[in-house]
A and B are shown apart, each in its own frame.
Chain A
């Protein structure tokens, strides 16, 4: 007998992984999410077509909406591409949200200390501080993994809570704006520390352009450099890598801080762009959503750019149906979780052929 049954379905292994389904699976996942989304909207007593249009189309029909898509896709893409490098090497950084927060804290602390000054040097330096904050925060789980064998999934996630509590304390305490009527917010960043707007009348800021450049730079790094090759080998065949003299330790100590730096930069772009100051909540879960973006984009930089735009749309769609149809904003999280499930399920098609019915005797396909 060949293949095995899952309920009434049979999985038959393919001789070769299907290239078509590598990119077909995300499309199938999006399609399935739309179908289930329509059913969900209908169950909530809304016209499913109108709701889907409101969720996925309406946000794109205005200049402001398109710019917002960029504003939200940029941090997602930048974080996801960093995570993807790690996932390829079997390094699971789940704490990007914390690294984003730490980047915002480090860069924000620098900005607040020079907030009375002006100069072109402030912004680039702040970006460096942001990257540094994220990289250092990610270096902790990296070091704990290489030196103490501690699971990076759990440590990076725990550090996310620590970073968020730290930010919360800072804006409630030492960094609170004395002239801010006791709101838990820092001073507003000076114009020298605020990202210039690229598109007048919208919130599209310089950080979005930098994010696209960063994603492309990582693409070059992955496909052209020896480091990219090592990362790929260590992920696919760690033993072969070890024989070749590649060091897992080195890969971990490079990959985690790299993804942390990207998340930290994204954090600074949030507070120096759309937000303009430090406050307790600076991200609607970009660090976690970026995990979905990384998988949906097939851990490939170009795929990630598309996936980031789609996931950004789920944020805008949630806001849109909340405004126009009175649906809860939490629809966004539901759609995001759903799409990852469908994707993981659809990925089975890459390695297996699915037949309806019981396993049948015969040769492998």
Chain B
């Protein structure tokens, strides 16, 4: 089958749309993990973000307000996680799971009244003239705004972590919290900020799902994307730009399942839908098998409780 430019552009657009929520949630988790905090509540924060964005947008008609509220809601969830793990020294794995279970329940509860409510999708931010260029025009300049925002955030995070003093402190806190504490850096304060950033990004990723990707509210609509984002952070070996690459790879897998069926290959849709989950397992295995590489790249204090004995 011959693919024309239009089809190629459409595939690229679909790929970007599938990749963006993953990239957003994953970059938030990356920052959190770099500071030494493993937050398994991404899925829950995404769902709460998705439902708040939808509820606010459906009521006020203002998607930007919806996104802001989604980020705030994600941060509130993250604050709860931070209070338990950083304040009350609770186990991070258990608390993260609690955050996800709670988020699933809370979003279903809040979203009850919004099931089946339609919502107009966001307009794409076509950049005039440039988006009219064949192929590269629509691919690079015809996406919805959050696609660009997600790339900008990844660039900003990469710059912050590697080029600024704040990023250096954050990494130090994640590598050795006792040493960072001893030379006077606020371990807990740094981690709170990182966790809150993670919450905001997960909330925004959720907003993308319920406002752009499928403009409606469905219970559990994140369908494991929060967990895939967690796997992406490992896949990227905690490097922001590799994260973007990973997210687009997954975006590709997600839309491949749709297009294979479009090409007339007769595989049941349920089996095709397994692809992103199987791909997640595959990349985890491929990356993790090199234990040394994980050890060298993973923040050394990840998941560890910080309680200075003085």
Contacts and interface: CB of A to CB of B under 8 A. Distances in A.
Contacts of B309: 13
Interface string A157-188: 11101100110110011000000000000000
Interface stretch (B124-132, B153-161, B199-207, B268-276): B268-276
B224 A161 contact: yes
B68 interface: no
B145 interface: no
Contacts of A332: 105
A166 to B, nearest CB: 7
A39 interface: no
A341 B80 contact: yes
Nearest to A173: B268
Interface in A1-53: 1-2, 4, 6-7, 11, 13
Interface stretch (A123-131, A221-229, A257-265, A344-352): A344-352
Interface in B36-82: 40, 80
A94 B284 contact: no
Contacts of A102: none
Query: Max chain B CB contacts within 10 Å: which of A148, A157, A172?
Result: A157
Q: How large is the interface on B (under 10, 10 to 19, 20 to 34, 35 or more residues)?
A: 35 or more
Contacts of B91: 344
Given A340-B98, A341-B98, A150 B284 contact: yes
B69 to A, nearest CB: 19
Interface stretch (A103-111, A113-121, A288-296): A288-296
A165 B93 contact: no
A283 interface: no
Interface string A325-352: 0001011111111101100110110011
A162 B83 CA distance: 34
B281 A337 contact: no
B289 interface: yes
Residue in B84, B102, B280 whose Cβ sees the most chain A Cβ within 10 Å = B102
Contacts of B284: 144, 150-151, 154-155
A6 B268 CA distance: 53
Given A154-B284, A158-B224, A4 B270 contact: no
B97 interface: yes
A92 interface: yes
A153 interface: yes
- Range for the number of chain A residues in contact with chain B: 35 or more
Given A4-B307, A161-B274, A337-B103, A328 B285 contact: no
Nearest to A340: B98
Contacts of A288: 101
A62 interface: no
B234 A151 contact: yes
Given A162-B277, A333-B105, A149 B288 contact: yes
Interface of A: 1-2, 4, 6-7, 11, 13, 92, 94, 144, 147-151, 153-155, 157-159, 161-162, 165-166, 168-169, 172-173, 288-289, 291-292, 295, 328, 330-338, 340-341, 344-345, 347-348, 351-352
21 contacts: A11-B89, A148-B285, A150-B289, A157-B224, A158-B224, A158-B231, A161-B274, A162-B274, A289-B101, A291-B97, A330-B105, A333-B101, A333-B102, A333-B104, A337-B98, A337-B104, A338-B102, A340-B97, A344-B94, A345-B90, A347-B88
Given A150-B281, A291-B101, A345-B88, 14 more contacts: A6-B88, A11-B89, A92-B93, A151-B288, A158-B228, A332-B105, A333-B101, A336-B105, A340-B94, A341-B84, A341-B95, A341-B102, A344-B91, A351-B89
